[in-house]
Structure 1
Amino acid sequence: MSAFEKFKRLVGRPDVTIALPSDPFIAIDREAAIARLKLDEKGEANGRADYPPEDSESLDDVESEIAAEISEYASRAQIDASANFRVYGERISELALLRELSTVTGASEEAIGDYRATVIKRKGELALAKDAIKESYSELDDFKAEHGLNRPAHRGLLPIYAYSTIGIAWFIESAFNTAFLRVNDDAGLIGGFVAAAVVAAVNLLGSAFVGRKVWPYLFYRKAGPRVAAYFATSLWLVLLFAWNLLAGHFRDAKAAGLPDPEAAALGLFADNLFQFDSIYSYGLLGAGLLFAVVAAIAGFKMDDPYPGYGDIYRRHEDRCEDYAEQIDDAMEDLRDIRREAIGEAEALRDELSSQFRERGNIIASREHLRTRYRDHQSYLEDQANALLSYYRGVNTRSRTSGAPQSFRKRWELQRTELPVMPSEPLIDEEVERAQNALSASITTISAAYNEAIESFEHLDTIKDNLRNG
């Protein structure tokens, strides 16, 4: 599991974010308040009674009722504003990445370490394959120098093509010889085909073996195996002619109706080696020689003409292909790991930016709440003084004496403030450090990938190094 994946699991707990609050402040309907508090009736009644006295400096009972009601509104506003203020704080605390900023930086550094460890592991695995390639080049060069070869190995026929050629040649020869060997056969056409198939099988299998195992040594550098190959080829030619001559005499014996044609063929072979009774027997001889040469050539073409060169060259090619495939696999794996690591880092960086912007919006909304709360207290104070002024006006117009001193005083609401969070702006530096760490991890991972790709030795580089010692 990558470092970023572990970090995502760490901060990937279900989001229990509380919904952001709505406006908690109420507006006062002044006309409704005047009617509900009966300010007209009470003001007129108290005015006719010259109440409060002219020398009164405190609020009367009606004014105190107005002040109490507005103070109650202010208390409710404080409770609602404080609750909403806490909601904003809880919403900020639910921003997971901002809650784990130090872990973001640690995960970035760990991801870089994990990626570099993967690169080192892949390079170590390729080191073994590279040693095998070097040994393969040395083995191939030594073989070519020992046997005086300065050419690449020739690719032989694919085994399926060679065996198919031999099989088709056997079938054609068998079918061709059936026409010659079916005469005077008790089993008729089937008996003739069986005899022809046996003759063709011995003919072709032996020839294919000579072409595959003997003829390559005709080109061998060492004299001993080369002389033995010439001797074996000469012996094969003698046996090939003898076998096909014997097949021709066998056909003559069957055509003459001689008893025991197999034994009779041996007698004809000994008495008249190259003389047949029928032209068809000469056709049998020619067909046998022709298809035998075809089988021998097919066997010879199955591999490079120089003995052992094809095998060692194929082993070398297989090692080269295996090394190239390992490099491709390593590059593909590193490419996938790079893509995943960079993708996760970019996703974290984007999410961090998103949560940071959201945090800014929440803080701005919370500060707006603080301003609104201050303004709402001023609003309530103004509403209270407006109600007091209305009551005092009715009272004054109904009095026979002058207005009391208290009517000239403005009522003041006892104000409160929402708490201040002085430490929150410090998170900006931490967010910037985390974002820089994620950006640096993206850059470092990309650089590590490029460095790893450049450090892989390809086949041409290995070959040039071997040539240069």
Structure 2
Amino acid sequence: MPKFESLTRLYDSLRESSHDFRITTDPFPPLDPEKLAKSMEIERKAAENGKANIPAGNARELDEVERAIVERVESQRDDAFQILEEQLNTYATRLRNLDFDGHFSQIEMTNHSSVEDFQADVTKGRDELFIRRKDLKATDEELEDFRKRNGLEKRVARVRGSLETWLKVLFVALLLIVETVVNGIYLAKGNDSGLVGGIGYAFGFAFVNVIGTFLLALFGIRQLNRRSFTLKIIGFISLLLWIALAIALNLAMAHYREISATAVDNIGPLVRQRLVSDPLGLADIDSFVLFAGGVLFSIAALLDGLFMTDPYPGYAGTYQRYVDARDDYAAEREHRVEGLKDIRDDHNEKIEGIIQGLSKRRKECAAIIDARTRMTKLFGEHQTQLESVGRKLLAIYREENRAARTEEEPKHFKAQYKMERRKVIIDTSDDWSDKDLSERIQTAQAELSAQMKRISKAFEDAVSAYHELDHIYSETINGSPA
């Protein structure tokens, strides 16, 4: 059964998550100028430096405190920029992992490979059915030939089920047991070992009487139904042999009962002598009952053997081979069709999953780009806020310093702080516009839908191809195409 390997890989890749990150709710926490002024002791340092007229009036560079303020603000800016770069790299990785180009290419490949995989399994099933159909045709012709040769065209063979066959076998065994017990009771009278000895002799008589009759009926007497004159003669001889066996054996058992009651030695020769000289000379009514009972058991075994299977020898076996081949072919074809249904349904389920996955990734792509834009905007706002904090801290320092000075303040005290902005460069090489992506996904969905139709068409063609075998190797009157 094809596994649609390329389709499965595409299906699984679209089901996998394209990232393993956590977005923070506040990536750039703002600085609190009041708290920062206290922690840096700006007012105290400003007053001390002002009393010492630091920085000097002719100073062109920032003093130590001013540099510390600027460094603190710009350090915060650099940290935020590092966070931004990490986030942008994460977004870029997520966009690359969406891999729309790769998935679209895989879709094009699966359009061919999936149908080819399906057709390969169809071909495999057809080859297997071809062999089984030939076997069915052979058994069908064998049965048809058997019917014509034996004049059985208008009669269906009587085939016994396994349960019915076992019941008939058990019936023979029951006959053997019952006759052994009954005869044992009658023969125990003249046996030195009593009932045990009587049953021993009775089993020997019963075995020949029941099993011998059953085998003669099954393999011999049924030959009377044959069209061949020679086989009919064999059947007739078997019938005569059974009659002789049933009468002679049961008479011998009856005479054995009477003779064993009076004689101790040479019972066998005496029984043979009595059978020749006076076969019906039974003095005891129980001996007649024993004889009649044995004949009845023999007749029961005869009927069981005659109707163990179809009365015409060989017909049931030939017909059963045909039925087995027919059922085997029908079961195999049903198995193959159900297998193709499962493959088709699995394929279509994966196609639907791929279509849903593409739509989901389109939304994810738009969300990533929006989040990236929002992050960039937040960083710009954060730089503005940092610049404002820097100006405020410098204003606090310079105001306190100016108030404590006795000399002229440096000129740069009047200059407003302007923080150098970090420029954000975004790699948009993996970006898809929502319009282009929507159109491309719609095209891919159309291709996948067409692929589903091709698989469904291939399934219908496969079922038709399987049924064509019925006409290539059609059956005779034994059965119509299954």
Alignment of 1:357-372 (within 5 A): 357-372=363-378
Offset at residue 363 of structure 1 (A): 2.2
Structure 1 pair 190/89, CA: closer, same or farther in 2 (3 Å)? same
Offset at residue 301 of structure 1 (A): 1.6
In the alignment, residue 308 of structure 2 is paired with which amino acid? M
Partners of 2:88 and 2:395 in 1: how far apart?
34
Alignment of 1:175-186 (within 5 A): 175-186=181-192
Partners of 1:302 and 1:112 in 2: how far apart?
53
In the alignment, residue 236 of structure 1 is paired with which amino acid? W
Partners of 2:42 and 2:445 in 1: how far apart?
60
Offset at residue 309 of structure 1 (A): 0.6
Offset at residue 406 of structure 1 (A): 9.8
Aligned match for 2:133, one of 112, 130, 133? 130
Q: Does 1:153 align with 2:157?
A: yes
Offset at residue 194 of structure 1 (A): 2.3
* 1:155-192 Cα deviation digits (max 9, x unpaired): 23744322222222122222222233233323332332
Partners of 2:394 and 2:230 in 1: how far apart?
133
Which stretch of structure 1 is more off in the superposition, 430-439 or 388-397?
A: 388-397
CA contact (8 A) 1:324 1:458 kept: no
Q: TM-score, normalised by structure 1?
A: 0.78
Structure 1 pair 182/80, CA: closer, same or farther in 2 (3 Å)? closer
CA contact (8 A) 1:258 1:264 kept: no
* 1:79-133 Cα deviation digits (max 9, x unpaired): 432333223223434x376584256323564343223212221221111101111
Partners of 2:211 and 2:475 in 1: how far apart?
47
Partners of 2:468 and 2:209 in 1: how far apart?
49
Aligned match for 2:313, one of 307, 311, 331? 307
Offset at residue 262 of structure 1 (A): 1.7
Which stretch of structure 1 is more off in the superposition, 149-158 or 343-352?
A: 343-352
CA contact (8 A) 1:156 1:301 kept: no
Offset at residue 357 of structure 1 (A): 3.6
2:205 maps to 199
Number of matched pairs? 462
Which stretch of structure 1 is more off in the superposition, 248-257 or 316-325?
A: 248-257
Alignment of 1:388-427 (within 5 A): 413-426=419-432
Partners of 1:245 and 1:60 in 2: how far apart?
144
Q: Does 1:211 align with 2:217?
A: yes
Offset at residue 251 of structure 1 (A): 2.6
Structure 1 pair 462/204, CA: closer, same or farther in 2 (3 Å)? farther
2:253 maps to 247
Q: Percent identity between the aligned chains?
A: 24
Aligned match for 2:333, one of 327, 332, 356? 327
1:143 maps to 146
CA contact (8 A) 1:101 1:434 kept: no
In the alignment, residue 193 of structure 1 is paired with which amino acid? I
In the alignment, residue 162 of structure 1 is paired with which amino acid? K
In the alignment, residue 323 of structure 2 is paired with which amino acid? E
Alignment gaps of 5+ in structure 2: none
2:273 maps to 267
Which stretch of structure 1 is more off in the superposition, 195-204 or 230-239?
A: 230-239
Offset at residue 136 of structure 1 (A): 1.9
| Secondary structure in structure 2 of the residue aligned to 1:277 | coil
Offset at residue 351 of structure 1 (A): 4.8
Structure 1 pair 40/285, CA: closer, same or farther in 2 (3 Å)? closer
Offset at residue 69 of structure 1 (A): 6.3
* 1:336-393 Cα deviation digits (max 9, x unpaired): 4445545555555555554444343222211111122233334445555666788899
2:462 maps to 452
Partners of 1:146 and 1:163 in 2: how far apart?
31
* CA RMSD across the alignment: 4.6
Alignment gaps of 5+ in structure 1: none
CA contact (8 A) 2:351 2:452 kept: yes
Q: Does 1:298 align with 2:304?
A: yes
Offset at residue 306 of structure 1 (A): 1.2
In the alignment, residue 81 of structure 1 is paired with which amino acid? L
In the alignment, residue 194 of structure 2 is paired with which amino acid? G
In the alignment, residue 183 of structure 1 is paired with which amino acid? K
Structure 1 pair 394/137, CA: closer, same or farther in 2 (3 Å)? same
Partners of 1:459 and 1:76 in 2: how far apart?
76
CA contact (8 A) 2:250 2:294 kept: yes
Partners of 1:81 and 1:384 in 2: how far apart?
21
Partners of 1:370 and 1:139 in 2: how far apart?
85
1:92 maps to 95
Which stretch of structure 1 is more off in the superposition, 257-266 or 273-282?
A: 257-266
CA contact (8 A) 1:374 1:417 kept: no
| Secondary structure in structure 2 of the residue aligned to 1:326 | helix
Aligned match for 1:104, one of 103, 106, 111? 106
